[in-house]
Amino acid sequence: MAERARDWPFRRAAASIGDILRGSSKVLPVAPTGLRIYAVGDVHGRADCLARVFAEIDTDLRRHPVDEIVEIYIGDYIDRGPDSRTVIDLLIGRARRRPVYPVLGNHEEMLLGSLVEGRMLDQRTAALSQIWRVNGALETLESYGVPVGGLPTAEAWPELLAAFRQVFPQAHRSFLEQGCRSVSFGSYFFVHAGIRPGIPIGYQHRADLLWIREPFLRSQANHGAIIVHGHTPVPEPELRTNRINLDTGAYLTGCLGCVALEGNAQHVVCG
């Protein structure tokens, strides 16, 4: 029989018996029975950090077995760091061995938009591609063997993208295209950037899920779920009553945030 979470170093919900009797305005953290969720923050091209997180998760499982797990990666796998191609390879390999949910971030949206060409290229997608040019894309192109040099001009960018489209593997494109915008388990809602407070989760705008910062970050509202997100770097995983931030700025710090969620326990695996 699997060892239960009683011996697991965890952080439990900060809800008192009084809160429960009064009807707390907070969402209590609850993962589905028998399931442990490992959620991982923004990788940003740091394949070395991702490999370490894989090892930490594997060690955690050996020490504290559980009946069932899922791993959720909450976007921004690419850009800024030096090894985006290897990051995608690692995630594809991991998904062959484990139940993996790849949630897409704004950087994946920019990359996928930049693969579009010709008459399919609308004004918004073209604008996103230019935003990508100055937000970490150069490191990604170089990791796929496209020589970039310095920051290209807007006029030179289409030629570089054409070269990138030629070498970007179909397996990588399929992996990203099959990624999800969000996923829910129990009382947790996993998304890249966050949500817009005051709007039901089922009615959130796609752009907010990928890009929002404020007013989400300062909100203390009950969102109807605990939002597990990244997108905005913090020094260490930030566990609040209404949200958990796992973006620990890995591409600069070398530290990739990961939290394990089981029952009403929250355990920082690394970060």
Residue 147 has pLDDT above 60, yes or no: yes
Handedness of CA 30, 31, 36, 42 (dihedral sign): negative
Residue 120 has pLDDT above 70, yes or no: no
Rounded average pLDDT over 221-243: 98
Residue 119 has pLDDT above 80, yes or no: no
Helix (H, G, I), strand (E, B) or coil at 259: strand
**pLDDT at res. 9:** 37
Q: Which of 28, 25, 33, 1 is nearest to 14 (CA)?
A: 28
Q: Are 141 and 167 in contact (CB under 8 A)?
A: no
Confidence category of residue 117, pLDDT binned at 50, 70, 90: confident
Number of Cβ within 10 Å of residue 257's Cβ equals 29
Confidence category of residue 224, pLDDT binned at 50, 70, 90: very high
Confidence category of residue 1, pLDDT binned at 50, 70, 90: very low
Q: Please state the separation of Cα 80 from the chain's center in Å.
A: 15
Rounded average pLDDT over 181-200: 98
* Amino acid (1-letter code) at residue 161: L
Residue 5 has pLDDT above 70, yes or no: no
What's the pLDDT tens digit per position in 155-170?
999 999 999 999 999 9
Residue with tokens 């326990």: 265
Residue with tokens 């091209």: 45
Number of Cβ within 10 Å of residue 30's Cβ equals 16
Pairing of the two strands 68-73 and 243-245: unpaired
What's the pLDDT tens digit per position in 8-45?
333 333 333 333 333 346 899 999 999 999 999 999 99
Question: Which tokens is 18 given?
Answer: 């009084």
Residue with tokens 């690692």: 90
Q: What is the mean pLDDT of the chain?
A: 91
Pairing of the two strands 258-262 and 35-40: antiparallel
State percent of the chain over pLDDT 70: 89
Backbone phi, psi, residue 69, to 5°: -135, 160
Q: How far apart are CA 88 and CA 47, in angstroms?
A: 9
- Please report, for the chain, the start and end positions of each structural domain, with discontinuous segments joined by +: 34-190+248-270
Q: Are 263 and 30 in contact (CB under 8 A)?
A: yes
**pLDDT at res. 2:** 31
Residues 6+ apart with CB under 8 A from 266: 10, 11, 12, 13, 29, 239, 244, 259, 260
Q: What CATH number does the domain located at 34-190+248-270 have? A: 3.60.21
**pLDDT at res. 122:** 78
User: What are the DSSP calls for 119-130, one per residue?
Assistant: GG--HHHHHHHH
